[in-house]
Structures are given as structure tokens and as C-alpha cells.
Amino acid sequence: MIELLKKVFLVDLFQGLYVTFRNQNPKYIYTEQYPAERPKVAERYRGAPRLNINPDNGETLCIACNLCALACPENLIVVTSERNEATKRKELTTFTYDTSRCMFCGLCEDACPVDALELTQDFEMASYTREGQIWDRQALEEGPRPTQYKC
Amino acid sequence: MTDSTFLDSTELVLNMGPQHPSTHGVLRVILKLDGEKVLGTDCIIGYLHRGVEKIAENRTYAQFNPYVDRMDYVAAVSNGLGYCLAIEKLLNVEAPPRAQCIRVILTELNRIASHLLWLGTHALDIGAITPVFYCLREREEALKIFEKYCGARLTTHAFRIGGLLYETYDGFEQEIRDFCKMFIPKVDEYEELLTNNRIWVGRLKDVGILSADECKEFGVTGPVLRASGVKWDLRKAQPYSGYEKYDFEIPTRVNGDTYDRYIVRMEEMRQSVRIMQQAVESIPEGPIMGKVGKVIKPPVGEAYVSIEAPKGELGYYAVSDGSTQPYRVRVRPPSFVNLQALDRMIRGGLIADVVAVIGTLDIVLGEIDR
């Protein structure tokens, strides 16, 4: 009898609707207003690569050891270097990083012995051309400069 | 048009997919229909084939690790665990206790995230739109924990061969505790929305029945098997990564229909929370990386490790020829094997049930096509 009454008065549906209305409270809004309100990504976020420079003298930290290129599963890092005759040390000449093939696994970052290569919290890496996705040394040191929108 | 077709139904061959949204990816099902009735199906897969197993042969052991995340991308952490355990078996090393405990927490969190996505999309396919918003809201919390822990939300690359790379961040334990506390009432909320809802029950009850014997014949694993009444969970049957330490139950049901599989998965989420709660209170101190060299060079041999992924038994078979690259890596994906049962489940059913059955199998095409 009770079962029948429950069926007639659509108790099950109203139970569900009650849940829906309970969640209508505006303080439960989760929508992120993205371009205006930028998301805060985690500290360990693996985003755009950056080649760190020494803040004191502006020289690169990279020692051109090629370990990141060897660690990369996609072989997208190309490091070239030449030996400085005066100091007998390898010096970095070019460093290219193809972000279009990168899967942001972080293996290059792990391999770097001097913390020169780092995956940063920048996540906006769109470009109008495919060539724009291939970052050279200068682009890696500066990092992406996305447009900042205000509402 | 011949005379006999009037009032007499004809067989119709209909393509469903690969762009159909409720095939959860790029599955193509060729349906043979008699009016509304399904006479037979034919699954065509391979639209998402990337040759992951072949890629493994050209990568070092550590380099292949990020690729396994891209097979079952909904449960990337479980895939990573399976692969790492297989290579650890080849190397004959074991992850330290602290690493094992954190691995358990993250895989259970991933199980919840995977089941939440399943519940949301499954309900969406059936026609209940509300649950997907709530499910994705809670899944977001789980993904935020992944992002904070390892820096990525979906393709996490959280584990390394021999243990973990990342130490837990400050407040990790508290966030897991908060998530568990927040999540249990939410599961009740989903159940309130769906379990007794007459449309939901009417669409799912006695749809896609699979008996226990049929499940065993097809090699179906995971929640689909447990909903048919077989109490089989690899976490209990062959414990790995310290699962024997935790107290949890294997939820089973007897009917083996779509509704039972829904109930089993809901209960599994509760059990995952139980495991996480126990694990987070007992994280031991110590190192997180085992004794693994910089260059991973396992001895000649082979290893097979299977784990209980959210979708069923996920196996990794690795053969080493003594070099730094695997000779062969074979993956036994749960979705691929479970998909076989699709024809048995919908033959004789109605065309509207096809969507419900594909949803209940919880397939991920990245894993099927590899």
C-alpha cells in the first residue's frame, strides 16, 4: 500500500529533485571565469619549459651535458655546444625544444643535473604557426608571454 | 520496394559510431536491427591505435613510463602502477613501504575519479543530466590532489620504476582526509538521485544480463564480473603494493544486469574511501625510492604483473633481453576483454539499451586500441 502511494505521488522523483534544489545555493558555484580570472595551478605543475639563467650575471645555467636530450622519450630536445678554448669548458650554443611534440612528462627536468631546464607553471603556449611551437634558446629563457585579459 | 516489406519488418544494418558520443570515444558498432530489436552486433576498433606496445620497444624502460598513462587516460595512475610493478618484478626490487602506501592512496583516488567519470557519463547517456555535474565537481577535487602531487591532472606520470619521484607535499594527508570526509555524503547524494529513480531503474534493470559462467568464459573482469556474483578482486586474490594490510570488502551482486553493475561501482567507491582512510593514517616514514640505478637494465627474463584497475584486471607483460630497452611489452587491458561481452549482452535487446550497455561496460578506447 505504502509502495503504491509512493509510486502514485512520485516520491522517488521528488527525492531526486530535492537534491538538485539543495545544490542550487549560489555559494556552490564552481565555474572559473577563465581569461578574466586566471587559474592558480599547483606548484609542481608541469607546463612550459624554461631554461634558467643565473640572475646575477644573466649567463645560462645549462652546461650542455645533453642529458635532457637523452632522457626525452620523443627526442625533441636538440643541444649544441662548442668547447671554449680559453676555459676548456663546453659552452652552450643553441638549445631547441619542440613543444608541439612534448607530452610534459618531466623526464628532462629530472635528468638535468644543474636545474637549468625546468617545467614551469605557465600553461598558455598556443601559437599561430607550427614553427612557433619550436622554441629556441631565447624563447626558452624568456618564457611565454600570454595576453592578460581583464574583465 | 518489394511487396513483402509492408508491415513485415526488414533487417536494417545501422552504423553506430565512431563519432557517436555515447560510445565513449571512437568505438564503431555495426548493429543489425529488426525494427527496434538488435539481432547482432559487430564491433570495429582501432580508430585510436597508436602502437603503444611497439613504441615500448624503441624506448628505454623509464622513457616508456609516461606512455602507459595514455592508454587508460581516465585511470592513468593505475596504469603507471601496473607498469612500474612489472618492471620492478623484472629488476627484482620492491618499492619501499612509504612509496607503496602513497601508491595505494593515489590509485584508490584514481579509482574514485574513474568511477565518477563513468557514473556521470553513464547517467548522461541514459538521460539523467544532473549527476554528471556533481560527479565532475567531485572529480575535480581528486584531480587537484593529483596536480598538487605530481604536476599533472590526467596523464600523471606519478610513479617511477622503483618507487616514487615526488615526496608528498605539505598538507597531503590532510587533503586526503578532507576528501574522504567530503566524499562519502556525496556518494549518498548520487544514490539519492539515481538508485530509486523509476526512470533509472526502468532503463537499467534486466538490461544486458551476463551470467557468472558467461563472464568467466569471456574473461570479463572488474565490476562487471563482480556484479554477476563472482567474488574476484585482485587486490584480495593476489595482493600487490601492500593491499593485504587494508581492511575492505569486495562488493558483489547476483543478477549481473546493468543496475547491479551500477550498485557495485557505487559500493566500490565507498570501499576505496575506506582503503584511503586506513592508508593515510599509516603512511610509514622512510625513503620513497628503492635501489634502482640511473640506467635501468634488467636481467634477461620476463615478468607478468596484473593489478585491479578501476575497469578490471590490468596486466603488464614485459620481456627483457638484458638491454636498456624492453624486448616486448604486452598490455592486457581490461576494457578490451570486457568489450567482447558486448554482443552477448545486447543481442535480443532493444536499440535504446545499446547505449546503456556500452556505458555500463565502462570502456576507454585509448586502452582498447592502444
Quote the pLDDT of residue B1.
Answer: 40
Instruction: Tell me which CATH code domain A49-142 carries.
Output: 3.30.70.3270
**CA–CA dist B88, B290 (Å, integer):** 10
Query: Mean pLDDT throughout B351-360?
Result: 87
Contact B99, B163 (CB under 8 A): yes
The answer on pLDDT for B6 being more than 60 is no
> Which distant-in-sequence residues (6+ apart) come within 8 Å of A9 by Cβ?
none
For every residue of B298-334, DSSP letters joined together read: PPSEEEEEEEEETTEEEEEEEEE-SSSSEEEEEEE-H
Cα-to-chain-centroid distance, residue B120 = 15
The answer on pLDDT for B179 being more than 80 is yes
Nearest-Cα residue of chain A relative to residue B65: A105
Residue ranges of chain A whose CB lies within 8 Å of a chain B CB:
7, 12-13, 15-16, 18-20, 23, 30, 41-46, 71-73, 103-107, 110, 119
Give SS3 for A45: coil
Using left for φ > 0, alpha for ψ between -120 and 50, and beta otherwise, residue A97 falls in beta
Query: Mean pLDDT throughout B49-58?
Result: 89
Q: Flag whether the ipTM exceeds 0.90.
A: no
Q: What would the grid cell of residue B328 be?
A: 616486448
Interchain CB distance below 8 Å, A15 and B63: no
Interchain CB distance below 8 Å, B198 and A7: yes
Domain ranges for chain A: 49-142
Interchain CB distance below 8 Å, B64 and A73: yes
**CA–CA dist B208, A31 (Å, integer):** 37
> What rounded mean pLDDT belongs to chain A?
84
> What rounded mean pLDDT belongs to chain B?
87
Contact B146, B79 (CB under 8 A): no
CA Rg, chain B, in Å? Answer: 21
Give SS3 for B89: helix
Quote the pLDDT of residue A138.
Answer: 84
Domain ranges for chain B: 51-333
Percent of residues, chain A, with pLDDT higher than 90: 0
The b/e string for B275-304 (b: 16+ C-beta within 10 A; e otherwise) is bbbbbbeebeeeebbbebeeebebeeebbe
Interchain CB distance below 8 Å, A30 and B140: yes
Quote the pLDDT of residue B7.
Answer: 53
Quote the pLDDT of residue B8.
Answer: 57
- How far does B222 lie from chain A, in Å, by closest CA? 29
The answer on pLDDT for B101 being more than 80 is yes
Query: Mean pLDDT throughout B290-300?
Result: 83
The amino acid at B100: Q
Q: Which residues of B touch A16 (CB under 8 A)?
A: 130, 192-194, 197
The closest alpha carbon to B227, from B341, B351, B306, belongs to: B341
Say which CATH architecture domain B51-333 belongs to: Orthogonal Bundle (1.10)
Question: ω before B334 within 30° of 0 (cis)?
Answer: no
Nearest by CB to B192, from A16, A104, A107: name it: A16
Nearest by CB to A46, from B62, B152, B197: name it: B152
Residue whose C-alpha cell reads 594490510 in the numeric block: B245
The closest alpha carbon to B336, from B207, B217, B220, belongs to: B220
Query: Mean pLDDT throughout B72-101?
Result: 89
User: Which pTM was predicted?
Assistant: 0.87
Question: Beta strand pairing status for B159-160 and B37-44?
Answer: unpaired
Give A86-108 pLDDT, tens digit per residue.
777 788 888 888 888 888 888 88
Q: To which H or E segment does residue B42 belong?
A: strand B37-44
Q: What are phi and psi of B62, to 5 degrees?
A: -70, -35
Q: What would the grid cell of residue A128 be?
A: 599561430
Give B21-51 pLDDT, tens digit per residue.
777 778 888 888 887 888 888 888 888 888 8
> Which distant-in-sequence residues (6+ apart) come within 8 Å of A29 by Cβ?
none
**CA–CA dist B342, B344 (Å, integer):** 6
**Helices B172-194 and B130-150: angle between axes, nearest 10 degrees:** 170
The closest alpha carbon to B266, from B135, B85, B75, belongs to: B135
Question: ω before B18 within 30° of 0 (cis)?
Answer: yes
Q: To which H or E segment does residue B138 belong?
A: helix B130-150
Query: Mean pLDDT throughout B306-321?
Result: 90
The answer on pLDDT for B5 being more than 80 is no
Give A57-73 pLDDT, tens digit per residue.
878 888 888 888 888 88
The answer on pLDDT for B144 being more than 80 is yes
The answer on pLDDT for A40 being more than 50 is yes
Contact B332, B353 (CB under 8 A): no
Degrees to nearest 5, angle at CA B297 with B64 and B330 = 45
Termini Cα distance of chain B:
44
Quote the pLDDT of residue B2.
Answer: 47
